[in-house]
Amino acid sequence: MLFEKVASYYEKLESVSSRLAMIDIMTDMLKESEKDEIKNLIYMTQGVLAPAFEGVQIGMADKLAEESIALSTGKTKEQVNALFRKTGDLGIAAEECAKETKLRKISGKKLAINDVFEALHKIATTSGSGSKDMKIKMLAGLLSNSAPLECRYIVRFAMGQLRLGAGDATILEALSKMSTGERTAKEKLENAYNICSDLGEVGETAKKKGMEGIENFKVTLFKPIRPALAERLPTAAEILEKMHGKCAVESKYDGLRAQIHIDKKNKRVEIFSRRLENITEMFPEIVKAALSEVSCESAILEGEAISYDEDTGQFSPFQETIQRKRKHGVKEMSEEMPLHVFAFDLMYINGEDYMKKPYRERRDMLEKVVKGNGTIRFSDRIIVTKPSEMEKYFEDRIANGLEGIVAKDLNAYYIAGARKFSWIKMKRSYKGELSDTIDVVIVGYYRGRGSRAEFGFGGLLAAVYNDRTDMFETITKIGTGFTDDMMKEFKKTLDKIKSAKKPVRVNALVEPDFWVEPKYVVTVKADEITKSPMHTAGMHNENGIETGYALRFPRIVGGGMRQDKSADEATTTKEIIEMFEQQRKTKLSEAA
């Protein structure tokens, strides 16, 4: 498949605002691809060069990309920069330069999707002395052999700013239509994706082996499983009712979720974050413990890594634990702030998939193969049959500095990548008025005015994620909780992903000064959830008026952007509606 054809599909995707239209365009594109190129095509459409756990990133700086454009088109760097400032899009600037110049020479051979992908991959993985100049020359060479429209998307991709608005759910539905002609196979494809966390591999399997291949996907060591997620309920009585009168209740640790893959025969251990990034090098003490404290030959286990004081039994706050997530000074920090992993699940052991085993069996096997008294320990838990038992345990956990509890269905499978009532969390702030934190996605920001004018930043427009429509729906403006340093950092970071028009996956009536791609998550607290005609979260017709949900008096907490959560892991529209109903019930009971 020629890349010029891919570029024409990308242009079509940019021009539509309907998600169904996007799915149809993407379906046609995927159908046209060959079996040996669909994986790379999906990666490129996602704006990546590999799944997250492989850690391959490109993200060239503006100045380097400008030099490449100048070198490939005969323009000066000043001319390229002037066009960039005028258009606000270096991809468009590259396209315009390519159209205007008479110095460009196109070779007779047109580039295929794999040619472009491999060239970009080589640019991304080039390192060492002189690598900056090599990257500039390699990108210039690629642009020299590309048509103007191709240049637009190559430059955007190289900068990490493809901006097609194609979320995972949209690509999965397109793969479903490619494979079956209908969107109904999405659930099976998503199950395969949840097991391997590699959308390119899912697409390639669907293309080569059809739905039979998708249904036979297996758990594989060193390919992270997308983590199971918990629903929420406000009271012990409601949780027990949902769990049919009996359940396990575990401590909820506010640490770093860690999925640990172990192959003792080859002395290999890899650790993945909740965002599926490979974070192995950051935690040498956990790697060492995985080889010495686990007795089976191979396993995938999951737990929460957290720092705590063994003398007092007090756990460190998340802001302290997150400091361990670093690339430099790892040895020093591991000695200064050693972590323990509180293991709570086992998904794979000695070649056997344990995800379809009941929770009680998974936990029993976990406790058989892990020593449990070293760096890797077990999450504290009890079995309860009465609300009073759960309440007492909950209060004890809060007193020990934890954020709450997680109730687990004793008979439930491990449900990867999904939020189900097989796990239900209860946190202190669910009890009473809304003061629970909510994770929202930044979709825009405002210019600074008054005392904030010097920062060029005045606040955020934020959204929640509608996992049914794969859209981000606005719920609040955030103007409080920022320090001076935070405002500087927000402005610097968001400027890199700002957009002249509303991103395709954002559903909004409110318009900020600057739109940004839905990429970064922040945590907020608010006094309550209210109904609002201004925001699109959960928007529905109520007595002839279109009404959504909003946050009253939101303020940012936690010190800035969350590095451990992706946009698709933000609080969902469904959760907001449920929290609103819980809040309403609480007010009614208090009034009575």
CA distances from 112 to 3, 34, 294, 406, 463 (A): 5, 11, 47, 50, 38
Selection from 95, 352, 380, 71 nearest residue 248 by Cα: 380
Burial class of residue 555 (count of CB atoms within 10 Å of its CB; 0-12, 13-18, 19+):
middle
Q: Which of 135, 177, 188, 252 is catalytic?
A: 252
Instruction: Determine whether 587 is an active site residue.
Output: no
Q: Are strands 555-562 and 540-542 parallel, antiparallel or unpaired?
A: unpaired
**Which residue type occupies 329?**
G
Collapse the DSSP code of 117 into the 3-class scheme (helix H, G, I; strand E, B; otherwise coil) and give the result.
helix
CB 158 within 8 A of CB 119: no
CA gap 490, 481 in Å, rounded: 13
Give the CA distances from residue 233 to residues 237, 307, 407, 571, in Å, rounded to whole numbers and listed in that order: 9, 28, 10, 14
Please name which of 539, 516, 523 lies closest in space to residue 486, comparing C-alpha atoms. 523
Reported for 186-191, long-range contacts at CB under 8 A and 24+ positions apart, including other chains, are 188/214, 188/215, 189/214, 190/417, 191/217, 191/416
Reduced 3-state DSSP string for 165-177: CCCHHHHHHHHHH
**Residues 390, 240: Cα–Cα separation, whole Å:** 9
Report CA torsion sign: 576, 577, 582, 586: positive
Tell me which residue has tokens 């390229």. Answer: 80
Q: Does an H or E element contain 471, and which?
A: strand 471-478
Positive or negative: CA dihedral 481, 483, 487, 489: negative
Residues 6 or more apart whose Cβ sits within 8 Å of residue 361: 354
Q: Which two tokens stand for residue 443?
A: 């979709």
Asked if residues 506 and 515 have their Cβ atoms less than 8 Å apart, the reply is yes
- Distance separating alpha carbons of residues 546 and 69, to the nearest angstrom: 47
HEC string for 56-78: CCCCCCHHHHHHHHHHHHCCCHH
Residue 241, number of CB atoms within 10 A of its CB: 12
C-alpha 382/C-alpha 363 separation (Å) is: 12
Q: Residue 334 — φ and ψ, nearest 5°?
A: -70, -30
Q: Strand, coil or helix: what is 535?
A: coil
Using only C-alpha atoms, the chain has a radius of gyration, in whole angstroms, of 25
Contact 21, 120 (CB under 8 A): no
Q: Give the residue numbers annotated as catalytic, written as ranges.
A: 252
